[in-house]
Structures are given as structure tokens and as C-alpha cells.
């Protein structure tokens, strides 16, 4: 079970971005100072004195595997770029000062470009993916829905969105606490994502709400797909820290592209369908 809450994940994700920025900053400064030393004949700062990632990253990071893996990829890319950047010619190589300076300047520019791109990639990944679940965030939802609406209009091929809302989620938090609630959220996202097609997209729409985009899919086809996910979900056994087992359910509302004029209008229909499903489940 995940031993931390969503707030821990967000805080630690920011720690990693801060550590990466610091790592880059000291290296950018080293390259600039080294170019100055080439001109003045001074000794540049020893590389061993530069902050390393292992000294900058906090111990006991509380992060899900997808964020740890993404950071590891970016870190490896940055370290390779850095090794390339410090391969400039030795002062005793016989090159003139200007040739040495040109070497450092060229390598410094390459490193700065590569490092800036890698750092932006890390920031985009952390910002556009939900920190707890790995699902997409609402930052990219509107552009995605606009693309589907335009595609449906141009090719007369329907796409669908499905709003999914977990039932009685508040009671899970009240009984087992928010740490267990976060674990339920994480496992729910995994179940949905593992039963979608590669072309489908899962967004975390709210706390325990999800929005699924299914391109080139009719409402009837989507209904069948969501029913299959529902069968898997209701059979999934959740376990609390005390060893208690429990199950959960969800409600959903589906909406086709049809003649919707914008994403908000499209989502409103899905939300209306979701509300109807919720009402049907209420005891009479």
C-alpha cells in the first residue's frame, strides 16, 4: 500500500524539479567561468566540487513509480550531455586560446540547449500527468476535446467521452483515512487505464472523477467498453492497512460528439448522463 498522501507526492515532485534546476545552474556557471579562465590563465573550479544529483535529491522520496522512472530518464540524459560538455581540449593540447575558447563555447551551447529541453520535458511531464495516478491532468483536456470535435465534424466519425465518478468515496476516506483514499484513487486509475485501448486517453477530472476520451468510437461501443471495465472494477478487492477488505463501484455518463459546439457543452451532456445514473442507484 502507498504509505503517503497526494500532498507528499506534489511536494517531492517539486523537490526533484528544484534539484534538477540547481544541478543545471551550477554547471552553466562552471562553463561560463571556465571560458573566463581560458582567457585569464586561472584554474577553473574542480569538477568534483560541483553539486551532484545524489547530494541534491532529498532522502526517502515519496513518489509513485511512473514519476521516479521519468526523473531517472531525464537525469540520465542530462548526465550524458554534461559528460559531452566537459570534453573540451586540455590547455596543453597545443591549441590557441581562441581555439580552446571556441571549443568550450560550442560545447557549452550544446549543453545548455540539451539541458533546457530535458528540464522542460521533466516539468511538462510532472505538470501534465497527475502526480498520484499517472493519468493526464485537465491542463491538456480542452485541446484534446477540441481535436476530437474537429475530427468528428470533418470526417463524420463520432468520438465519445465518459465521466466516471466513484460511488461512496467519502465513506472510504471517513472509515479508512485519506491515505487509503489515495490508494483507492491510484488503483482505480490503474484498472481503468489497463482496460483502455492505446488510442484512448484517461484524465483525472477531479478528486475521484475521471474523464475517458475514446476517439472514433460510438456511444454503443463505449457502453460495452465501460461495462467491461465496470465488471473488472466491482470484482477488485481493496485492502486497508489493518487488513480489512472492501469493494467499490462507480457510476458513469457517456456523451458522443454529435453536434456539440465546444468541450464545455460536450462535458455537460456527459455530466447530465452521469447524474441520471447516480439517481437510478439511489434507494427509493
Which residue, chain included where needed, has cell 475530427? 151
The catalytically annotated residue of 8, 165, 208, 271 is 208
What is the rounded distance in angstroms from the CA atom of residue 258 to the CA atom of residue 173?
38
Length of the chain: 284
Burial class (CB in 10 A: 0-12, 13-18, 19+), 249: exposed
What is the rounded distance in angstroms from the CA atom of residue 62 to the CA atom of residue 182?
13
Q: Where are the alpha helices (DSSP H) in 86-241?
A: 97-128, 141-155, 169-176, 178-194, 219-234
For the chain, give percent helix, strand, coil, nearest 5: 60, 10, 25
Please write down the long-range contacts of 104-109, taking CB distance under 8 Å and 24 or more positions apart.
104/31, 104/34, 104/35, 104/38, 105/35, 107/31, 108/28, 108/31, 108/32, 108/35
- Distance linking the first and last C-alpha atoms of the chain: 37
Active site residue 244: no
**Active centre residues (catalytic):** 208
Amino acid at each position: 500500500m502507498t504509505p503517503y498522501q497526494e500532498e507528499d507526492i506534489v511536494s517531492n515532485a517539486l523537490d526533484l524539479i528544484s534539484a534538477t534546476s540547481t544541478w543545471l545552474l551550477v554547471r552553466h556557471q562552471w562553463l561560463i567561468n571556465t571560458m573566463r579562465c581560458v582567457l585569464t590563465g586561472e584554474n577553473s573550479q574542480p569538477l568534483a566540487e560541483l553539486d551532484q544529483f545524489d547530494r541534491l535529491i532529498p532522502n526517502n522520496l515519496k513518489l509513485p513509480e511512473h514519476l521516479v522512472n521519468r526523473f531517472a530518464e531525464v537525469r540520465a540524459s542530462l548526465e550524458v550531455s554534461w559528460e559531452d560538455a566537459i570534453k573540451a581540449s586540455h590547455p596543453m593540447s597545443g591549441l590557441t586560446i581562441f581555439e580552446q575558447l571556441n571549443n568550450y563555447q560550442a560545447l557549452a551551447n550544446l549543453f545548455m540547449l540539451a539541458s533546457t529541453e530535458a528540464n522542460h520535458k521533466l516539468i511538462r511531464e510532472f505538470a501534465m500527468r497527475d502526480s498520484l495516478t499517472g493519468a493526464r491532468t485537465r491542463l491538456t483536456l480542452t485541446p484534446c476535446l477540441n481535436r476530437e470535435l474537429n475530427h468528428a465534424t470533418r470526417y463524420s466519425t463520432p468520438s465519445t467521452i465518459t465521466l466516471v465518478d466513484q460511488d461512496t468515496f467519502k465513506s472510504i476516506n471517513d472509515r479508512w483515512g485519506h491515505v487509503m483514499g489515495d490508494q483507492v484513487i491510484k488503483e482505480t486509475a490503474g484498472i481503468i487505464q489497463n482496460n483502455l485501448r492505446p488510442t484512448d486517453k484517461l484524465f483525472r477530472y477531479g478528486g475521484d472523477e475521471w474523464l475517458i476520451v475514446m476517439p472514433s468510437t460510438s456511444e454503443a461501443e463505449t457502453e460495452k467498453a465501460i461495462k467491461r471495465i465496470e465488471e473488472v472494477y466491482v470484482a477488485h478487492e481493496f485492502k486497508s492497512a489493518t487488513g480489512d477488505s472492501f469493494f467499490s463501484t462507480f457510476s458513469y455518463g457517456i456523451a458522443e460528439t454529435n453536434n456539440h459546439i465546444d468541450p464545455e457543452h460536450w462535458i455537460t451532456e456527459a455530466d447530465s448522463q452521469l447524474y441520471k445514473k447516480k439517481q437510478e442507484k439511489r434507494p427509493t
